[in-house]
Each structure stands twice: as structure tokens, then as C-alpha cells.
Structure 1
């Protein structure tokens, strides 16, 4: 084996070890009976049992899950239209401003976004009486604002790779632009939509900064609960919670990849 090849494998192995050894150690110590996170005593599932009876964590987890699902669907719907406009509508009047507004959440720190949205909601509450307070709705708006940009960039890059002759052929055969978009374009960019959905879901369920600014009484998300507890010291119950999330995310990625690969194989078979 060539020396360069060996160095590549070594670098790859170090990179994977750096990424995945902490995750594996977290999973292993979630089955530790000791209250000390880094001291192994013997195998036990006591922290999973404690997690099952922790009402605060369970309530926060369900709230974060609901917000993440709503954010993912809304971001894909709005971000798809935004990305399609960027890719297909050309340089119209105000195109530079439109592009800058779409890309702004990617470069503006979340702290600035959180402060600006908080001030906006406070002033709207004073002027219009809406929103009456901060909660699920305000958190959802903040997360959608953040995730739309990611979806738009993904969809834009995918739409630009499409062969326009397919859509032009459908138009020549009498299909309306609306019908072409839903029956031709959307199936061709389905993988990009799935990727944008998964990314939006992950960003939302993991967000701490925006949620801290936009949450109110009774709307504490899971990252806020975890952060408040970790500040007081590591708890093996957090390891159990993280392990469950890793399993759920891994299963979701596997299922998502399966459907995307099946759709790609079907598309290639139809093209042949």
C-alpha cells in the first residue's frame, strides 16, 4: 500500500475516532449504575427508569418534538418556493435584496436574531395586543425563520441541476406551469426536500439560543431544560436521554436514506 494511502486511512481513522468515541462512551455510560458519570460500577438501566418518570424532561421533549415537526414542514413549504424563485426566475427587480434576505439568517448570529425577534414581539404586543405572550408560536416563528434559508439553498442547488427539457416537454404537451411544478419538478427534487426537512427538524429540536429568547412560561423546550440541569453538574439521566435521541435520529436517517435511494433508483430506471 502506498504511503499516501496509509496516511489517508490514518487521518480518516483519527477523524472518525474523534467524532464517534465520545458518542459511544456516552451510550455505554448511560447503562452505568453509578451516579458519577465517569465512574463505571456495573450494568444497570436505572437511569432509563428515572427518565421515564421525569415529567419535566418528557414534557419538554414532546414540546420540542412538536415544534420541530411544525418547523420542518413549514420550512420545506416556504423554502421550496424561495429556492425555486432563486433558481428559475432570473434576475428580477429586487433580486439582490431578495437573495440577501434569504441568506441573512445564515450569517447573522442567532443571538442577534433572538434579540430582534424578541423586540419585535414585545412591540407588536404593545401596539396590537398580539402575541399576548411568548410561547410555542413565537418559538416556531423563530425556528422557521432560521431554517427557511437552509432549505432554500438546498432546493436552489438541486433545481439548477435539473434538465429543463423535461418541464418544457410537459408544457408543450399542454400542462399548466402549476401542474408541471407539482407533477414534474417536485418529484425530481424530492431528495432535496427530504434533506431540507431533516436538516430543519434537527436545527429546530437542537436550538437553544432562539428558544431562550422566544420561550415563555409553560413553553420550555428540551435544550433549555438540559442546559439548565447541566450547569449544575452532569447527570447520568442526561446520558440516557441522549442515547434515546441518538437511536431515534439514526433510525430516521436510515429510513430517510432508504426512501431517497429507492426514489433515485426508480428515477434512473424511468430515465433508461
Structure 2
């Protein structure tokens, strides 16, 4: 395969991925009430979105749930990845590693149904959680995100020797001080990557949220999925455009901070 053909295939693949996104952004500025029909330039759908409390509340709820579940998943996944990477063989290690990675291979339908049955059983036995809502969705997303975060963090620590940690302890640092000053900085890139991965998984999840949410826990993907049955409006295109702009600005900010750090 020639380099020219490789470049052609690369650009064709990028066009296949990004052309639908570009069309979505373009139709956000269309005056037509049909989501994918051009009717002249207009900002009417951004104004309509600003007045659509249902979509805005669902988007804000999704962001809060994604941030909360990603934080919880990073804490649990960090502890799990650290144990699997830094502790040698112990009783139940294989079982712990298998259970930690199970959500990665289980269909989300199975995971969602299992969590629904668990929440119903807990409510019947203890009264908690009282119904399904934002809390149950957050816990469900954290369950899935923990598995991904643990894999990322374990892989990071597995490629780093323990020499620095052992040297710190030889110089008089307590295990807790060695962890805080040596191990934790080594884990920091993986913790950030795990948080972002869990945040993204939560933000666009439909299946788990469908099983574990209630009227008070309708996330943005669930709201959009329900709109498909009744007919979507270009407000969705406007919302997607704003999300793309926010993601682009976030990436630009991260790139600027990394450049200043270098």
C-alpha cells in the first residue's frame, strides 16, 4: 500500500466520521422546522433551546451525574487499580480482578437489569433508595466507570517500577507519605484519564439510565431518545452544536495549559 493511498484512506475515514457532525452543526442554523432540511440561515433554534426548560434541565442533570459518577468511579477505580498493580499475590486476587473487569464485557442490558433488581431489593429491605432517580443513575454509571478507571490506572502503575516508592521509604518516609508524594503523582495522568473516560461514558449512556432512572432522573440521552418517538426538532441540533463548542474550548484550554507547563 503506497503512502498516497494511505493518506487518501485516512482523509476518507476522517470525512466519514466528521461530515455528519458538520451537517448537524450546519442544520442548527437552518430556519426550517425539519431537523435536516435547509431553510435559510437563522438563529431561531438557539432561542428556542434557551426557552426549552426540559432539555436544559436534562442537560444540566446529565453533567452533574457525569461529574459525580466520574469522581466516584475514579476514587474506587484508583484504589482497585492500585491494589491490583502494587500488591502481590493474595487470597482472592484473581476473583477480585475478574469481578472488577466483568462490567467491561457484560452487555449493558444485563448490567442495567441487574442494577434495577438490586435497587428494588434494597428499597424493599431498607427503604433506600426511595425510588429511582438521579442517585440511582449516578451509582449505575459509577459502577461501569469504575471498571474502566481501574484498567487505566492499573496499566499505568504496572509500567512504573516501585524503585522510587521504596527509595522514599528507605529515606524515612512513611508508607502514607510515600504514597502521597511518589505514588499519587505517578497515578495522576491515569486518574485524569480515568475520570475523563468515566465522564464521557456517563454523559452519553442510554441503556443504564433507562433501567435505573425515574421521572426525576431523566438524563439528556434518555430525553433525546424519547423525542425520537414523537419527532425531533432542530433544537437538538442547536444543543449538539453548543456541546461541540464546549468540548472544543475545553480541549483548547487543556492544550494551552500543557503548552505553558512544557
Which TM bucket (shorter chain)? over 0.9
Secondary structure in 2 aligned to 1:218?
helix
Could you tell me how far apart the structure 2 residues matched to 1:8 and 1:147 are?
35
Match among 156, 177, 189 for residue 158 of structure 1 = 156
1:253 positional shift? 2.9
Listed as ranges, the matches of 1:101-180 within 5 Å are: 101-180=99-178
Q: Aligned residue for 1:26?
A: 24
2:203 is equivalent to residue 205 of structure 1 = yes
Please give the alpha-carbon distance, in whole angstroms, between the structure 2 residues aligned to 1:262 and 1:198: 21
User: Kindly tell me: are residues 192 and 259 of structure 1, through their superposed partners in 2, closer, same or farther at Cα, counting changes over 3 Å?
Assistant: farther
Q: Which runs of 5+ in 2 are unaligned?
A: none
What CA deviation, in whole Å up to 9, does each residue of 1:20-77 have, x standing for no partner?
1111111111011111223212111100000000010111111111111101111111
Give the aligned partner of residue 246 of structure 2. 248
2:212 aligns with: 214
Corresponding residue for residue 224 of structure 1: 222
**1:203–1:142 CA distance, 2 compared to 1 (3 A):** same
Partner of 1:70: 68
Structure-2 change in CA distance of 1:259 and 1:105 (3 Å): farther
Q: Distance in 2 between matches of 1:249 and 1:136?
A: 24
Query: What is the aligned residue count?
Result: 262
Instruction: Quote the residue 2:237 is aligned against.
Output: 239
Structure 1 residue 217, shift from structure 2 partner: 2.1
Matches within 5 A, 1:249-268: 249-259=247-257, 265=262
In the alignment, which of 4, 7, 10 is matched to residue 9 of structure 1? 7
Q: What is the Cα deviation at residue 262 of structure 1?
A: 5.8
Task: Judge which range, 246-255 or 93-102, deviates more.
Answer: 246-255
1:102/1:261 Cα in 2 relative to 1: closer, same or farther (>3 Å)?
farther
2 CA distance for matches of 1:203 and 1:92?
A: 32
Alignment partners' CA distance in 2, 1:262 and 1:171: 33
Q: 1:195-233 CA distances to partner (integer Å, 9 max, x unpaired)?
A: 111111111111111111111122211111111112233
- Distance (Å, rounded) in 2 between the aligned partners of 1:86 and 1:147: 17
Question: TM-score, normalized by length of structure 1?
Answer: 0.92
Instruction: Give yes or no for contact 1:80–1:193 (8 Å, CA) kept in 2.
Output: yes
Cα distance in 1 for residues equivalent to 2:230 and 2:215: 21
Post-superposition Cα deviations, 1:138-190, rounded to whole Å, max 9, x if no partner, equal 11110000000110110111111223221121111111111111211121222
1:61 to 59, 62, 66: 59
Task: Identify the residue that residue 93 of structure 2 maps to in structure 1.
Answer: 95
